Amino acid sequence: MAILTWLHTAYGDDLINGIRSSLPDETIYEWPGDVAHNEIDVAILFRMPPGFLKPFPNVKLISATGAGIDHYLLDPDFPRDVPLVRVVDHDFAARMADYVLCWTLFHHRDVPHFLKAQKERRWAYKIMRSASDVTVGVMGLGQMGRLTCERLAFLGYDVRAWSRSEHQIKGVRCYAGKDALPDFLRDTEILVNLLPLTAETRGILGKKTFDRMPHGGVLITAARGGHLIENDVLDALDSGRLSAATIDAFPVEPLPETHPFWTHPNVYVTPHCSSTASCATIVDTFAENVRRFRSGAPLLNEVDLAAGY
Ligand code: NDP
**Per-residue pLDDT for the chain (309 aa), expressed as one digit of tens each?**
999 999 988 899 999 999 999 999 999 999 999 999 999 999 999 989 999 999 999 999 999 999 999 999 999 999 999 999 999 999 999 999 999 999 999 999 999 999 999 999 999 999 999 999 999 999 999 999 999 999 999 999 999 999 999 999 999 999 999 999 999 999 999 999 999 999 999 999 999 999 999 999 999 999 999 999 999 999 999 999 999 999 999 999 999 999 999 999 999 999 999 999 999 999 999 999 999 999 999 999 999 999 999
Q: 45 and 175: one domain?
A: no
Tell whether 307 is covered by a domain.
no
What is the number of residues in the chain? 309
Tell whether 300 is covered by a domain.
no
Whether the bond between 24 and the residue before it is cis, its omega within 30 degrees of 0, is no
Q: 283 and 265: one domain?
A: no
Q: Could you identify the atom of ligand 1 that is nearest to the CA of residue 163?
A: 21
Q: 173 and 30: one domain?
A: no
Give pLDDT, residue 210: 98
Give pLDDT, residue 296: 98
Tell whether 28 is covered by a domain.
yes
- Could you report how far apart the first and last alpha carbons of the chain are, in Å? 28
Q: 105 and 252: one domain?
A: yes
Give pLDDT, residue 88: 98
Whether the bond between 196 and the residue before it is cis, its omega within 30 degrees of 0, is no
Helix/strand/coil for 203:
coil
Ligand 1 contacts (CB < 6 A) are: 66-68, 96, 140-145, 162-165, 194-198, 200-201, 222-224, 248-249, 272-275, 309
Catalytic residues: 224, 272
Tell whether 305 is covered by a domain.
no
Domain of 49? Answer: 2-89+277-295
Q: 127 and 62: one domain?
A: no
Nearest to 266 by CA among 235, 296, 289, 290: 235
CATH number of the domain bearing residue 178: 3.40.50.720
Give pLDDT, residue 112: 98
Tell whether 35 is covered by a domain.
yes
What is the distance in A from the centroid of ligand 1 to the CA of 141?
Answer: 7
Q: 223 and 246: one domain?
A: yes
What is the distance between the alpha carbons of residues 116 and 128, in angstroms, rounded to a whole number? 17
- Is 264 in contact with 257 (CB distance < 8 Å)? no
Q: 61 and 130: one domain?
A: no
What is the distance in A from the centroid of ligand 1 to the CA of 164?
Answer: 10
Tell whether 304 is covered by a domain.
no
Q: 169 and 44: one domain?
A: no
Q: Could you identify the atom of ligand 1 that is nearest to the CA of residue 222?
A: 41
Give pLDDT, residue 121: 98
Q: 231 and 114: one domain?
A: yes
What is the distance in A from the centroid of ligand 1 to the CA of 195?
Answer: 4
Give pLDDT, residue 47: 87
Give pLDDT, residue 120: 98
Q: 252 and 103: one domain?
A: yes
Tell whether 178 is covered by a domain.
yes
Q: 108 and 24: one domain?
A: no
Q: Which helix (H) or strand (E) holds 148?
A: helix 143-154
What is the distance in A from the centroid of ligand 1 to the CA of 93?
Answer: 11
Give pLDDT, residue 8: 87
Say how many domains are in the chain.
Answer: 2
pTM of the model: 0.97
Cα Rg of the chain, angstroms: 21
Q: Is 47 left (phi over 0), alpha (psi -120 to 50) or beta?
A: left
Give pLDDT, residue 9: 87
What is the distance in A from the centroid of ligand 1 to the CA of 89?
Answer: 14
Q: Which of 87, 191, 195 to mutate to test the pocket of ligand 1 (most atoms within 8 A of CB)?
A: 195
Q: 81 and 97: one domain?
A: no
Tell whether 309 is covered by a domain.
no
